[in-house]
Amino acid sequence: MVDMIQRFKALLAILALVLVAAMPARADDLKPLVDGLGKNGYAALREAIGALAATGDPAVAPVLQALGAGDLYVRKSDRAVFAATKADGGFALKDPLTGADAGTAGSRDVEKIRVNNAVREAVTSALGSLTLMSADPAKRRAAAADVFRNSDPAQIPLIDQAISKETDAGIATTLQMARAAAVLKSDAPDAEKVAAIAALQAKGGRDVLAQLTAIEASAPDGAVKAAAQTAITSIQGTLKLWDGAQNILYGISLGSVLLLAAIGLAITFGVMGVINMAHGEMVMIGAYTTFVVQELIRNNMPWLFDWSLAISLPLAFLVAGLVGVLIERMVIRYLYGRPLETLLATWGVSLILQQAVRTWFGPNNREVGNPSWMSGAFELGNLTITYNRMWIVVFALVVFATLMLVLKRTPFGLQTRAVTQNRPMASSMGIRTPWVDALTFGLGSGIAGIAGVALSQIDNVSPNLGQGYIIDSFMVVVFGGVGNLWGTLVGAFTLGIANKFLEPYAGAVLGKILVLVFIILFIQKRPRGLFALKGRAVEA
Amino acid sequence: MVTNFLLRALDRRTAIVLIAILGVGILLPVLNLATDPSSPFHVPTYVLTLLGKYLTYALLALAVDLVWGFCGILSLGHAAFFALGGYAMGMYLMRQIGDRGTYGNPLLPDFMVFLNWKELPWFWTGFDHFWFAAILVLLVPGILAFVFGWFAFRSRVTGVYLSIITQAMTYALLLAFFRNDMGFGGNNGLTDFKEILGFDIQADTTRGALFFASALALAAGFWICRAVIASKFGKVLVAVRDAESRTRFIGYRVEGYKLLVWTLSAMMAGVAGALYVPQIGIINPGEFAPANSIEAVIWVAVGGRGTLIGPIVGALLVSFGKTWFTSGMLAEYWLFVLGGLFVLVTLFLPKGVVGTFLARDRKKPAEKPIEDVVAPGAVGQAAE
Amino acid sequence: MTSTIEPVAHAKAKDSLLYLDGVSVSFDGFKALRGLSLVIEPGEMRAIIGPNGAGKTTMMDVITGKTKPDSGDVYFAGDTDLTRLDEAAIASLGIGRKFQKPTVFESHTVWDNIDLALAGDRKPFATLFHRTSQAEIARVEEILDTIRLTDKRDWLAANLSHGQKQWLEIGMLLAQEPKLLLVDEPAAGMTDAETAETAILLQEIARTKSVVVVEHDMTFVRDLGVKVTVLHEGSVLSEGSLDAASADPKVIEVYLGR
C-alpha cells in the first residue's frame, strides 16, 4: 500500500515536471541563458554551459546536444542563438529549445559557435547531469548506473545535487553508491573513504567487487586498503551464497523440466512395469502440437497468440494420449510380462514416430514463440529469474499435484493403484485391467504431451527433441524408485540441482557424466531406487 | 584344457559354419584381387569393404547374443565396448600416420596440434606398437565390463534396470568422448589413417587381408561361443536366464557367471570394433550412441537370439537392408522400416528368423532347445 | 543384547542341524516373522503347517539366505551362522530348497536339470572346463530312477506335467546331496495318486537326510506321520504330533475360528 502511494506520488511529480517543461513561459526564462552561448570566447561559452546545466531543466538537453554536434549558430544581427541547418544557399533556423521554425538566414548573417575539447567535455558532463535530472525514472536509473560505473570524482557535486532531488528510493541508493565510489577515487581524507567503502560493502554485488578490487590494488597501505580488503572478502562470501542460490534456482528449473519429462514415464513404468522407449516422442508430439496451434493462430487469429499455450495444453494431452492408447492397444498389450521385448518394440515405435514427424514437418527446428507473459526476466536480490523458467516450475508442480489428486481421489486412480499393487487380484475383483492399462498408458503419454508444450518454450522443437530426455527421465524414475510419484518428484529435483551444482566445477558435460556415474553407483546400492516398494510381492 | 574345451564343441554343424565363414573370408578377397574388373566374378573393393564391415557387425551381434540370448542380460551398451575397441585400434593407426599429417608434426596427431597441445598425453604411450594396441583392444572393453559388471551383478541389478544403466554407461561415454580435452579427437574422432602394420590401408591387398581377418575373428568368436554354450558353464547360463533364483538355490554364485560371460562378450565386441575401424577409416564418438547399441540388439532379435547362427544372419540381413535402403530413393523411409522391424519381430517373430526356422525343423523329435546340441549328459565324451 | 545371548544360543545350537532363535523380519512395518524359534535335529523330518501369512515362506527365505533377518540367530550344523552367507554359499553347505511353485530349468532336458544340480565345483571356470565323469552319469541315472523320470530323460523340462516337475525338482534337491531339505508345499496341485507317491518319496529321502516340509494338505501331513510345528503370525503356535497339535485349543481357534 505504502509503495503504491509512493509510486503514485512519483507519477504526479513526473507529470508536473513534464507540464512545467512544456510551458512556453519556462522557455522564455531559459532563452537568455541559451543566448548566453553566443558570447565570444571559450571561457564564456563554458560558463554559459554551466549556467544552462545548473537549471537542471531537461529542456536544455537538446540545446547542449546541438552545441556538441556543432549545429548551433549565432545570428549576427541580434546575437540570438539558433539551431541551423543548411538550406538553399542559406540556413533554416530553428529555436534550439522548442524546435520551432524561426525563419531563414543567409550564410553571411549567421556565425557558427565553435567548440574545442574543453567545451565538449563540459557539454558531456552537463548532459550527464541533465540525464540524472531527467523526468523519466528509467533514464535516471540508467544514468545513475553509468555514473556509478564511471565513478568520476569530478561529478561528486553533480551527484550530490541529483541525490537531493531524487524521489525514487532505488535510484537514490544507486546515486549514493556512485558517490561513494567517486569519493574513493578522489583525494578525500581516509576517514571519508573508509566510510565510503562501508557504504559500498553494504550494497555488495559484482560491480562493487570490481570497483573495490581496483581500489584495493591501487591504494597505498593503510586504513583504506585494509578496509577494502575486508570489504572484498565479505562481498565475495556473500556472492558465493548468491551463486549457490542461483545454482539452486537453475537446479530447480532443470529439475522441473526433468519432472515434467519423467512423470508420465513414472506412471507407465510404475503402474505397468513397461519401459516405454517412445516416451520422449510423446513429449515431441506435444511440442509439435504447440507448433501447429501457434501456426494456426499466427495465420488466422494473431490476437489469440498469448493464449496459444493454454489452447495447446489440452490438445497436446489429447493427441499424445491418443497416440499412447494406440501404441498400447496395437503393440504393448501383446507384450505384458516381457519387459525387455516391450523395451525393444517401443524403441521401434519411437523410430517410426520420429521419422513420421521428420517427413511431415521437416528435419529442422521449428519456431515456437513465447507468449508475452513467458518472455523476459525479473530480478530477485542478485538472482535473475526468467519468466519462462519460473512458469515451467509452477506448471510442473501443478501437473504433479493434479496427477496426485487423480491417482488418490478418483475411481480411476484407485483402480490404477490396485493394478499396480496386485494385478491378478485387481483383475479378479472385477477391475478391467486391460482398460486400466490402456487408460494409464494414455494418461502417461498425455502428460508427456503437455510436458512437450512446456518444453517447446525452452528447447528446440525438432524430431530429436524426445531423445534428449529419455535417458534423463529414466534416471529420474529409477533414482526416485519405481511406483512412487513422490520419489519421482524428489529424484527430479535432486538430480536437477546436483547437475547444476556440479556444472561450475566440472563443466556441463562432465557434470552430466558425473551424475550418470553417480546414478549407476546408486542403483548398485539401492537397486529399487530411493523410495522403493518393499516386500515379498515385489520380489516375486 | 583349452584345446579340449574348444575341440569338444566342434561338432558337424559347428564345423560347417566355421568352414563357411572362413571360405567366404578367403573367396571374396581372391575374387577381388585375382579377377579382372570386367569379369562377372569380380568383387569390387567397395563391396569387399562393405561386407567386411558387416562381418564385424556380425561379431558384435554374436557378443550381444551371448549375454542376451543365453544369459538374459539385455545390454543396451554394447556399442560402447565396440567403440572402445575401435578407439584402441584407431589410436594405433593415428600413430602410424607419423609426420604425414596435415601439420606434418612428427610427434603429435593433427588434432592435438590443432588444439595447441605440446606433448602426447600419457595414455597415448605405447600405441606406436601394434601388439600394445591389440592387447588394449581386449583389455579396455574387458576391464570396463568387468568393473561395471562387478558392481551391477553383485548388487543384483537385473532386467530393464540393467538395460537402462548399460544405456546410461554408453551415453556417458558418448558425452565424454565428444570432449576435446579427453584427448581422443573430440567430435571428429580419429581418421585420415595411412598404414596398418606398414601396409597402405587403402590398398586392395590390405582390404582383402582385413576382410579375411574379420572373417577369421567371426569364426573364432563363433567357435568360442559354441564351446562356452556347450560346456556345463553354458548350461548354467541358460539356467540363470530361465530361473535365476533357482540357480542360486542349487548353489551357483550367479554373479560370477554373469561377470565372466559379460566380460567375454565385451571383449568380443572390442575385437569387432578394432576390425571395423581400419576398414571404415574413421572412429568418432557417434559410435557410442545408444541407438547403435539398440540396433545391434535388433540384429540379434531378427536373426534369433539363443541361437549362434541367428545373430550372424540377423546382422547381415539388417545391415544389407540398411545399405540397400539408405543408398536409394527410399533413404527417408529406412527408419520406418527399422522401427517396424523392431515392432514386428518382437510381436510376431520372437524367436527370430533362424530360431523360427530351427524350431519348425525340430518340432517332431523330442522338442529340444535349439541351443542344446551337445548330447544330454555328454555320454560319448565320458567314455574316453 | 545379541552379544550376551549369542554364546548361550551357540551352546544350544550345538547338537542341532538347524537352529532358529528369536528370528524377526519385517517388510515396511509388516512383521512377517516375530521371534520365531525352531530346532531341527539331524535326521529329523518335520512338517510345518499354518494358515496363509503365517510366515512359512519367509522362514524358508531366511534359512536359505534370500532374506536377512532384522534380529535373531540362525545356525546350521551347530556353528555356521547362516545370516552371514548368501544363497549360493548356503546351498553349498548342504541346504536344498524346493519352491512352492515348481521351478525347474524349462529349456533344459530332464537329464541336464539333474546334471546341473549334481554336487560338484560351482565356480565359473570349473564348470567352463568341466568334463562329465562316469560316476556323475551313474548318479544322475540313479536319481532319475528314484524320481521315476528315467524314460523322460531327454524331454525338455517345460514339457513335463505339473507333478513330474515337482518330482524333478525334488530330484534336483537330491542331486545336491544336501544335509537338510526344505520342501515348500510339495503336494500342491497334485492328483491324489501323485500326492501319495510324493509322500512315499519324501519318506524315502528322510531315511538319510533331515527334511522340513511346509504343507497345507492335512491328509498329506498325516501320511508323513512326523512331528508338526504350527506357525501363526510369524511365530510358533504349537508343536508336537499332528493329533496333539490339532487338539491344541489355540490351533483350533486359528484354523477354525471360534
For residue C114, the model assigns a pLDDT of 92
Residue A505 lies inside a defined structural domain of this protein: no
Contact state of A348 with B159 under an 8 Å Cβ cutoff: no
DSSP state of B183: S
Least Cα distance to A173 among A130, A212, A204 occurs for A204
Helix (H) or strand (E) holding B190: strand B190-191
Chain B residue nearest residue A519, CA to CA: B165
Q: What residues in C contact A535, CB-CB < 8 Å?
A: 27-28, 30
For residue A487, the model assigns a pLDDT of 86
Contact state of B233 with C124 under an 8 Å Cβ cutoff: yes
Regions of chain A short of the pLDDT cut 70: 1-28, 56, 150, 152, 154, 524, 527-528, 530-540
Q: What residues in B contact C57, CB-CB < 8 Å?
A: none
Q: What residues in C contact A533, CB-CB < 8 Å?
A: 28
Same domain, yes or no, for A210 and A302? no
CA distance A503 to chain C (A): 37
Cell numbers linked to B221: 568368436
Spatial neighbors of A90 by CB under 8 A, at least 6 apart, are: A104, A105, A106, A107, A109
Q: Are A258 and A472 in contact (CB under 8 A)?
A: yes
More confident residue, C6 or B121: B121
Q: Are C221 and C198 in contact (CB under 8 A)?
A: no
Across the range C117-126, mean pLDDT stands at: 87
Indicate the average pLDDT of chain B. Answer: 88
Buried b (16+ CB within 10 A) or exposed e, B39-52: eeeebebeebbbbb
Same domain, yes or no, for A78 and A158? no
Residue A228 lies inside a defined structural domain of this protein: no
CA distances from A499 to A506, A508, A509, B117, B172 (A): 10, 8, 10, 30, 14
Same domain, yes or no, for A192 and A254? no
Does position B297 have pLDDT exceeding 60, yes or no? yes
CA distance C109 to chain B (A): 7
Taking an 8 Å Cβ-Cβ cutoff, which residues of chain A contact chain B?
Answer: 275, 331, 334-335, 339-345, 347-356, 358-359, 471, 474-475, 478, 509-510, 512-513, 516-517, 519-521, 523-525, 527
Same domain, yes or no, for A194 and A283? no
DSSP sequence for C158-172:
GGS-HHHHHHHHHHH
For B11-33, what is each residue's pLDDT tens digit?
898 999 999 999 999 999 999 99
Same domain, yes or no, for A309 and A396? yes
For C60-84, what is each residue's pLDDT tens digit?
889 988 888 888 889 988 788 888 8
pTM over 0.90: no
CA distance A508 to chain B (A): 10
**Is C32 part of the contact surface with chain A (CB cutoff 8 Å)?**
yes
Contact state of C57 with A536 under an 8 Å Cβ cutoff: yes
Q: Say how many C-beta atoms besides its own lie within 10 A of residue B269's C-beta.
A: 36
Least Cα distance to C219 among C49, C13, C56 occurs for C49
The domain containing residue A98 runs over which residues? 2-123
For residues B281 and B196, give the distance between their C-alpha atoms in angstroms, rounded to a whole number: 11
Radius of gyration of chain B (CA): 21
Does position B384 have pLDDT exceeding 70, yes or no? no
Q: What residues in C contact B372, CB-CB < 8 Å?
A: 107-109, 112
Q: Chain C interface, mutation test: which of B235, B250, B305, most C Cβ atoms within 10 Å?
A: B250
Residue A50 lies inside a defined structural domain of this protein: yes
**Is C123 part of the contact surface with chain B (CB cutoff 8 Å)?**
yes
Least Cα distance to A38 among A102, A106, A111 occurs for A111
Spatial neighbors of B181 by CB under 8 A, at least 6 apart, are: none
The three-state (H, E, C) secondary structure of A28-88, written as one string = HHHHHHHHHHHCCCHHHHHHHHHHHHHHCCHHHHHHHHHHHHCCEEEECCCCCEEEEEEEC
For residue C257, the model assigns a pLDDT of 55
CA distance C24 to chain A (A): 14
Contact state of B159 with A339 under an 8 Å Cβ cutoff: yes
CA distance B174 to chain A (A): 9
For residues B285 and B84, give the distance between their C-alpha atoms in angstroms, rounded to a whole number: 10
CA distance A197 to chain C (A): 60
For B156-188, what is each residue's pLDDT tens digit?
888 888 888 898 889 889 988 988 888 898 888
Same domain, yes or no, for A214 and A260? no
Question: Residue B378 — left, alpha, or beta (φ > 0 → left; ψ -120 to 50 → alpha)?
Answer: left
For residue A4, the model assigns a pLDDT of 60
Label the pairing between strands C71-76 and C180-184.
Answer: unpaired
Cell numbers linked to A424: 491378478
More confident residue, C202 or B339: B339
Q: Which residues are bridge partners to A90 per DSSP?
A: A87, A106
Cell numbers linked to A459: 528447447
Residue A537 lies inside a defined structural domain of this protein: no
Cα–Cα–Cα angle for A385, A138, A68, nearest 5°? 130
Same domain, yes or no, for A151 and A257? no
Contact state of C105 with B232 under an 8 Å Cβ cutoff: no
Chain C residue nearest residue A536, CA to CA: C27
Same domain, yes or no, for A193 and A81? no
Q: Are A76 and A95 in contact (CB under 8 A)?
A: no
The helix/strand/coil state of C131 is coil
**Least confident among A258-272, B13-27, B67-81, B258-272:** A258-272
Least Cα distance to A84 among A95, A92, A76 occurs for A92
The helix/strand/coil state of B283 is strand
Q: What residues in B contact A517, CB-CB < 8 Å?
A: 172
Q: If you count them, how many residues does chain A have?
A: 540
Label the pairing between strands B190-191 and C45-49.
Answer: unpaired
Q: What residues in C contact B236, CB-CB < 8 Å?
A: 116, 124, 127
Question: Which segments of C58-168 are extended strands (E)?
Answer: 71-76, 80-81, 95-98
Q: Chain A interface, mutation test: which of B318, B335, B348, most A Cβ atoms within 10 Å?
A: B335
Nearest to B231 among C86, C106, C128 (CB): C128
Cα–Cα–Cα angle for B198, B143, B180, nearest 5°? 65
More confident residue, A481 or B379: A481
**Is B210 part of the contact surface with chain A (CB cutoff 8 Å)?**
no
For residues C150 and C137, give the distance between their C-alpha atoms in angstroms, rounded to a whole number: 13
Across the range B226-247, mean pLDDT stands at: 92
Residue with cell 541351443: B371
For residues A171 and A52, give the distance between their C-alpha atoms in angstroms, rounded to a whole number: 24
Q: Chain B interface, mutation test: which of A351, A470, A521, most B Cβ atoms within 10 Å?
A: A351
Contact state of C28 with A536 under an 8 Å Cβ cutoff: no
Write down which residue in A466, A486, A506 finishes a domain: A486
Chain A residue nearest residue C66, CA to CA: A539
For residues C86 and A515, give the distance between their C-alpha atoms in angstroms, rounded to a whole number: 31
For residues C84 and A1, give the distance between their C-alpha atoms in angstroms, rounded to a whole number: 70
For residues B359 and B253, give the distance between their C-alpha atoms in angstroms, rounded to a whole number: 31
Nearest to C134 among B235, B248, B382 (CB): B382
Q: Chain B interface, mutation test: which of C98, C107, C136, C180, most B Cβ atoms within 10 Å?
A: C107
Residue A237 lies inside a defined structural domain of this protein: no
Buried b (16+ CB within 10 A) or exposed e, A221-253: eeebbebbeebbeebeeebeebeeebbbbbbbb
Dihedrals φ, ψ of B71, to 5°?
A: -125, 0
Q: What residues in B contact A520, CB-CB < 8 Å?
A: 148, 151, 165, 168-169
Residue A132 lies inside a defined structural domain of this protein: no
Same domain, yes or no, for A206 and A322? no
Residue C56 burial (C-beta neighbours within 10 Å; 0-12, 13-18, 19+): buried
Radius of gyration of chain A (CA): 34
For residue C222, the model assigns a pLDDT of 83
Q: What residues in A contact C32, CB-CB < 8 Å?
A: 536
Same domain, yes or no, for A255 and A168? no
Contact state of A534 with C57 under an 8 Å Cβ cutoff: no
DSSP state of A222: T
Same domain, yes or no, for A338 and A378? yes
For residue C5, the model assigns a pLDDT of 44
Contact state of A520 with B169 under an 8 Å Cβ cutoff: yes
Q: What residues in B contact A340, CB-CB < 8 Å?
A: 74, 159-160, 163
Residue A141 lies inside a defined structural domain of this protein: no
Cα-Cα-Cα-Cα torsion A241, A246, A252, A254, nearest 10 degrees, comes to: -140
Nearest to B301 among A344, A510, A523 (CB): A344
For residues B354 and A453, give the distance between their C-alpha atoms in angstroms, rounded to a whole number: 45
Helices first, then strands: H and E counts in chain B:
16, 4
Q: What residues in A contact B160, CB-CB < 8 Å?
A: 275, 339-340, 343
CA distances from B135 to A13, A128, B141, B282 (A): 83, 73, 11, 20
| Count of domains for chain A | 3
The helix/strand/coil state of C155 is coil
Spatial neighbors of A474 by CB under 8 A, at least 6 apart, are: A262, A265, A275, B164, B167, B168
> Residue B330 corresponds to which amino acid?
L
Give B357-366 contacts, CB < 8 A, sequence gap 24+.
B357/B304, B358/B304, B358/B307, B366/C154, B366/C155, B366/C156
| Count of domains for chain B | 1
CA distance B235 to chain C (A): 8
Same domain, yes or no, for A155 and A110? no
Contact state of C88 with B379 under an 8 Å Cβ cutoff: no
Cell numbers linked to C6: 549369542
For residue A397, the model assigns a pLDDT of 93
Across the range C106-117, mean pLDDT stands at: 92
CA distance B2 to chain C (A): 8
Nearest to B342 among A334, A345, A355 (CB): A345
Contact state of B338 with A517 under an 8 Å Cβ cutoff: no
In the stretch 150-179 of chain C, residues with CB closer than 8 A to chain B read: 153-156, 159, 172, 176
Question: What percentage of residues in chain C have a pLDDT greater than 70?
Answer: 93
Contact state of A534 with C27 under an 8 Å Cβ cutoff: yes
Nearest to C156 among B239, B259, B368 (CB): B368
Label the pairing between strands C180-184 and C95-98.
Answer: parallel
Helix (H) or strand (E) holding A383: strand A383-386
Write down which residue in A460, A486, A512 finishes a domain: A486
Cell numbers linked to B39: 569379369
**Is C134 part of the contact surface with chain B (CB cutoff 8 Å)?**
yes
Residue A35 lies inside a defined structural domain of this protein: yes
Q: Say how many C-beta atoms besides its own lie within 10 A of residue B106's C-beta.
A: 10
Residue with cell 575486508: A230
Q: Are B239 and B247 in contact (CB under 8 A)?
A: yes
Q: Are B273 and B83 in contact (CB under 8 A)?
A: yes
Q: What is the CATH number of the domain that holds B349?
A: 1.10.3470
Label the pairing between strands C235-240 and C227-232.
Answer: antiparallel
Does position B53 have pLDDT exceeding 90, yes or no? yes
More confident residue, A89 or B300: B300
Least Cα distance to A351 among A372, A373, A331, A329 occurs for A331
Radius of gyration of chain C (CA): 19
For residues A414 and B26, give the distance between their C-alpha atoms in angstroms, rounded to a whole number: 66
The helix/strand/coil state of A278 is coil
Helix (H) or strand (E) holding A105: strand A101-106
Nearest to A509 among B152, B167, B179 (CB): B179
The domain containing residue B53 runs over which residues? 2-382
Cell numbers linked to A449: 504431451
Interface predicted TM-score of the whole assembly (ipTM), two decimals: 0.85
Question: Which segments of chain C are extended strands (E)?
Answer: 18-27, 30-40, 45-49, 71-76, 80-81, 95-98, 180-184, 210-214, 227-232, 235-240
